[in-house]
């Protein structure tokens, strides 16, 4: 179980948890939704494969009565070298006087962990963007959120959306929700020190992927995979790009 301890980063602000018209209590299915997070105006760091995102319109977003301050999310515009960090970092204003049982349960089920440190760029980004509390950073694997797809669905339905990057980092994607169906080119990570092989698996049942596998293979350099709506597409040690 996650212990929501105060990390080596402890920032002090004037704490305020007052209910107001700007407060939005998120459902679990809305934690990553672009209805509430300002993905369009995120601060992007392509060389670090990440983006910093704050709530839209200055709203106060809460999950299980704890304020969500920001998200550090994966962002891949162009592959510039190993390795893409396939995680979401949730920044919470943690109040020890509020019962954290439900929050701990939520993040534990997502296989998340409290982050032990935070770098200087993240500290600078957070300055002035929150009005309260001691901050905890919870790091979660991207594939822990297969059903939190409000922003992904809108991206599939709207080809002009910037939510789906041109280059996809390694991970697991549900076709028709996270990314559209079609043919994808996979390229193995470039690292002159290592002789790397990539791998992929296409399956139909997330609860029993071994027995629902459509195709699975490892490869060198480059390969092509075609996926259909409703399938799951998992790949590692590689990046993917949709073939036009």
**Averaged pLDDT score across all residues of the chain:** 77
Q: Write down the residue that tokens 């369009």 correspond to.
A: 40
The secondary structure element, H or E, covering residue 45 is: strand 43-45
pTM above 0.75, yes or no: no
Cα–Cα distances in angstroms (integers) from residue 131 to residues 11, 37, 58, 59, 123, in the given order: 10, 17, 11, 12, 14
Is residue 160 a contact partner of residue 151, using CB atoms and an 8 Å limit? no
pLDDT greater than 60 at residue 2: no
Q: Is the dihedral of CA 54, 130, 143, 187 positive or negative?
A: positive
pLDDT (average), residues 210-237: 93
Burial 135-155 (b: 16+ CB within 10 A, else e): bbbbbbebbebeebbbbbeeb
pLDDT at res. 82 = 59
pLDDT greater than 90 at residue 117: no
What is the DSSP secondary structure assignment for residue 58, as one 8-state letter?
A: G
pLDDT greater than 80 at residue 116: no
State percent of the chain over pLDDT 70. 71
Q: 49: left (phi > 0), else alpha (psi -120 to 50), else beta?
A: left
pLDDT greater than 70 at residue 50: yes
Highest mean pLDDT among 26-35, 127-136, 147-156: 26-35
User: Shortest CA distance to 6 belongs to which of 100, 115, 157, 123?
Assistant: 115
How many angstroms separate the CA atoms of 122 and 91, rounded?
Answer: 10
User: Shortest CA distance to 70 belongs to which of 43, 46, 89?
Assistant: 89
pLDDT at res. 185 = 96
């Amino acid at each position: 179980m996650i212990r929501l301890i105060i990390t080596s980063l402890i920032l002090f602000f004037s704490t305020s948890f007052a209910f107001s018209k700007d407060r939005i209590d998120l459902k679990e299915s809305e934690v990553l939704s672009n209805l509430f997070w300002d993905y369009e105006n995120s601060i992007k760091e392509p060389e670090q494969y990440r983006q910093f995102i704050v709530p839209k319109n200055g709203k106060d977003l809460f999950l299980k009565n704890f304020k969500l301050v920001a998200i550090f999310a994966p962002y891949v515009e162009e592959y510039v070298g190993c390795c893409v960090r396939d995680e979401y970092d949730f920044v919470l204003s943690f109040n020890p006087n509020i019962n954290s049982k439900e929050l701990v349960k939520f993040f534990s089920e997502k296989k998340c962990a409290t982050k032990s440190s935070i770098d200087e760029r993240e500290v600078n980004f957070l300055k002035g963007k929150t009005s309260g509390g001691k901050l905890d950073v919870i790091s979660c694997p991207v594939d822990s959120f297969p059903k939190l797809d409000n922003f992904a669905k809108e991206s599939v339905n709207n080809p002009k959306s910037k939510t789906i990057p041109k280059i996809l980092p390694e991970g697991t994607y549900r076709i028709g929700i996270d990314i559209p169906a079609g043919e994808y080119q996979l390229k193995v990570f470039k690292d002159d020190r290592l002789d790397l092989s990539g791998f992929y698996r296409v399956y139909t049942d997330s609860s029993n992927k071994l027995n629902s596998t459509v195709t699975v293979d490892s490869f060198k350099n480059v390969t092509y995979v075609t996926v259909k709506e409703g399938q799951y597409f998992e790949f590692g040690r590689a990046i993917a790009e949709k073939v036009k």
